[in-house]
Each structure stands twice: as structure tokens, then as C-alpha cells.
Structure 1
Amino acid sequence: MVNEIKLFYDLTAEKTADQWYKEEMLKPTILDFVSLLPARARILDLGCGPGHESMRIAQTGADVVGVDFSEECIRIARARCPQCSFEVMDFRDLDDRYGRFDGVFASGSLPHLAPEEFGAVLKKIGSILTGPGHAAIIVVDGAGISDKFSCLEVNGRKLNRTFYLYSKELVIKKAREAGLTFVREGYLDSVLAGYGWRNYILKNAGGEHYRRGK
């Protein structure tokens, strides 16, 4: 199943880049998230795709590393966004090989994980965050697997990129078990919210909370 999800992102990488490098729908979301972090924060874009949001994060003055398991996405990201660093990585294998981060931005990537994997990856995120570090976890509200987001057709070929729905209650529960605490819901454009997308801001349990520039 993982190979089929990877194939989906390999095949759609160029089209995604063409659409999203010029689409600024997530820019306010990024600005809201970065406001919680120190100036010139070091941020990991987890499941970065072809680097479109990595680019916008970097525009805030942050030092950005993007990781994705799609080699095609990373190839495009390196070409289109040379100001960021990009590495091929399955984020289920996340560790500190690229150092630690003030923030982790995970937009639409973690829903590909089953609940047991979701919790394990949240724990890994906590392990690479600095003491007061924050994470933005963007998922679709609900329970079970989404047929709408899972079964898609690419070039006449049907692919299953299994997409799990996550309620606020389950995200908070999994976060608490992973040593992270829920801060608040982050900003999302009303169009995305209308499709059920939610943005949950988490931080290291007990980590000092301070604002950008303090």
C-alpha cells in the first residue's frame, strides 16, 4: 500500500507543483504557525511534496528542511526551491539525522498513517523538537478511512492512497500519549475548513511557550 501511495505522489508531483507554487491559500496558516516560534526558526516540513509550502515557510525567514518519500517530489523541490534543504525520507523513519527543530509543519501528510502509526510518528516529532517546539498537524476531521480522499485516478489509472480521518479528540489523545500537548486550533482558509480540514497546534509537554522574537 505504501508503494501505491508513493507512486501517486511521484506521478502527480509536477502537476501539484504547477498548481501550488502559485496558490497562497496556506500562507496565512504558515504565518500563524511561525508567530509561535522564535525569529529565524528552524522548521521541518514533514511530507513536503514538491516544496511549495517549504518555499513559503522560508519566506518568513525560517531555515527550512523538507522531507518526503517521493523521489520525484524531492527532485522538483530542489529545483524550484533551492533556498531550502530537501531530503528523501519516509517520515515513519523520522529521527534526528537532520538535527532538531523549533517547529514541524505537517500539512496533509499524517492522514496516510493508520492510528497506531500516527501516534508513533507524533512521538518521533516530539523527539526532534526543541524544548519549546511546536508542531502544526493538518488533517481531515472524522473517523475511519475516507473514500473521497483515498481512491483517486491518475492518467486513467486508479490508485489507492489510503487516507485516514482524525477527530480533534483522537489527535489530542494521540498527542498526549506521545508527550505533546494541544495548544489550539491553527488558522485555516474557510475553503479548506469547508472540506473538513483542521489544523491542530501541538507543543512539547512542559516546554516553555514564547513568541517570535522573544
Structure 2
Amino acid sequence: MDETPQFTATAAAYDGIAETYATCYRDSLATRPLDRGFIAAFADLVRGRGPVLDAGCGPGHGTEHLRRLGLDVAGVDLAPRMVELARRGYPEIAFERASLTRLPHADGAFAGVMAWYSLIHLPPASMPVALAELRRVLAPGGHLVLAFQAHDDPATAHVPFDHKVTPGFRWSLDGLGALVEETGLVEAARLITAAREGELYKRGHLLYRRP
């Protein structure tokens, strides 16, 4: 477990609003057909090839969505209260507390890994460590799917933004993609969606494969 001040503060911030967050975002995918489509493509690529990890699962809504798509899925999250809510809400799924920079899983344990808006609070210096961990637990031929708040300034990889829960970073698709490729993964697809009414930022989606 990573107990640095930044990680501890992020876990505490999410624990403080865990119940509200779980209620507000329970059906968030229902109104996002492009997000669902990107996740569905990921699920089609990994289904039947082995277990899948929801890395930064929060209260487990996305993990359950993957299960309904026919995947053998487990979840990890940094915030203890989030893990507690996930276990209570979806008792048929295994959830545990873990940092994305230090996962408690064997090398190559998963056919697929999903990090759905769970990397945005990492200090940029910690991003390569987390991506290397996600790659480490991914089996050869497996796929990694990422989603994050995005920007499109080609001269800047990341910019800070005032997230409602705790400070975060927006990434350009090229900037984050370059870090993923440094781990040896190969890009399979990317998607950027415009900010909708009431939203401030674009959203980026990346899909990578481990050769």
C-alpha cells in the first residue's frame, strides 16, 4: 500500500464523500453511449481469455458493468470506504484495497485491466510507476483501457484541474499515450468526446494491447 501524503489525502477525500459519490454515479454509464461502446469493445477483446481487473473501482459500479458484460472481474481501490461499499453492493465480486502504484497481484495475472478515471489524481511523477504496474499485471495479448479528463494542447502533456473531490490532472491523449507506450504496450484505439452541457472538460479514452 502506498501511504505517501498525496495518496493518503486522496483516499481520505473519497472516503469522506463515499456514500454520496456511490449514489450520484451509480447509473453514470447509462447516459454515456460512447463510453459504454468503448468498454464493450474492450470486453469483447478480453472475454474468455482470463480474469479482468477494475483498477480504481470506487464503489464498484463499473466493476459490476464489466461483470454484466460476461467478464470474470475483480476490483481494487485506494479508499477503504469505497472498497467497503463495493463489497456490500456487489458481494459476488472480489474487492480489495490497493494502490495503483503497488498492486497485490502476480505478473500477468489479468487478460484485461480497466482504469476508468482512476489515474487522474496521481501526481504526474507517479504516473509512469502506475502504468508500469498496470502493464506488469497484464498478460501477454491482454488489453488495457483508460479513461480520463482530457485537454488537447499538443505542447503540454498534463495540466492541473480543480476536481470536485480532490485536485487532479487532465492529460492530452498523446501525452498519456506516450507514457503508456514507454511500458511496451501498443495502441489499439483512442476516442475523445466533447464536454457535454454542464461539463467543463473533454474526456479521453485509450485502448492498448500487450504484445
Q: What's the TM-score bracket when you normalise by the shorter of the two chains?
A: 0.7 to 0.9
Shift of 1:147: 3.1
Superposed displacement of residue 136, structure 1: 0.6
1:22 aligned partner: 27
Asked if structure 2 preserves the Cα contact closer than 8 Å seen for 1:134 and 1:203, the reply is yes
> 1:211: which partner in 2?
none
Moved more, 12-21 or 90-99: 90-99
The RMSD of aligned alpha carbons is 2.5
1:5: which partner in 2?
10
The corresponding residue for 2:154 is none
Between 97-106 and 78-87, report the one with greater CA deviation: 97-106
CA distance in 1 between counterparts of 2:7 and 2:181 reads: 27
In 1, distance between residues paired with 2:65 and 2:192?
Answer: 15
TM-score, normalising length: structure 2: 0.83
Deviation at 1:29, TM superposition (A): 3.3
Post-superposition offset of 1:189: 8.6
Shift of 1:185: 1.0
Separation (CA, whole Å) in 2 of partners of 1:81 and 1:40: 23
Q: Which residues of structure 1 form unaligned runs of 5+?
A: 153-158, 208-214
Of the three residues 55, 77, 91, the one matched with 1:82 is 91
Unaligned runs of 5+ in 2: 1-5, 152-156
Change (3 A) 1:189 1:59: farther
Q: Contact 1:138 / 1:199 at 8 angstroms: preserved in 2?
A: yes
Task: Indicate the residue corresponding to 2:208 in structure 1.
Answer: 202
CA distances 1:6-45 after superposition (whole Å, capped 9, x unpaired): 1111012111211222332343332122122233741100
What pairs up with 1:120-131 in 2 under 5 angstroms? 120-131=129-140
SS of residue in 2 equivalent to 1:8: helix
Contact (CA 8 Å) 1:28, 1:187: kept in 2 or not? no
In structure 2, distance between residues paired with 1:29 and 1:88: 26
Change (3 A) 1:64 1:125: same
Is the 1:172–1:181 contact (alpha carbons within 8 Å) kept by the matching residues of 2? no
Quote how far apart the aligned CAs of 1:191 are.
3.6
Higher relative contact order (CA 8 A, sep 6+): 1
Report percent identity of matched pairs.
25
Measure how far apart 1:64 and its partner are. 0.9
| Aligned-partner Cα distance in 1 for 2:130–2:25 | 26
Mapping of 1:110-149 within 5 angstroms? 110-142=119-151, 143-149=157-163
The verdict on how the C-alpha distance between 1:127 and 1:28 changes in structure 2, with shifts beyond 3 A counting, is: same
1:64 aligns with 2:73: yes
Q: How do 1:173-184 residues align onto structure 2 when only pairs under 5 Å count?
A: 173-184=178-189
Deviation of 1:134 after TM superposition, in Å, equals 0.5
Instruction: Compute the displacement of 1:96 (Å).
Output: 2.2
The residue type equivalent to 2:147 in the other structure is: I
| Cα displacement (A) at 1:188 | 6.0
Residue pair 1:44, 1:103 contacting (<8 A) in 2 also: yes
Q: How many residues are aligned here?
A: 196
Local SS of the residue matching 2:162: helix
Which letter maps to 1:8? Answer: A
Q: 1:154-177: CA deviations, max 9, x gaps?
A: xxxxx6x23112111112211121
Q: Determine if contact 2:100/2:133 at 8 Å carries over to the other structure.
A: no
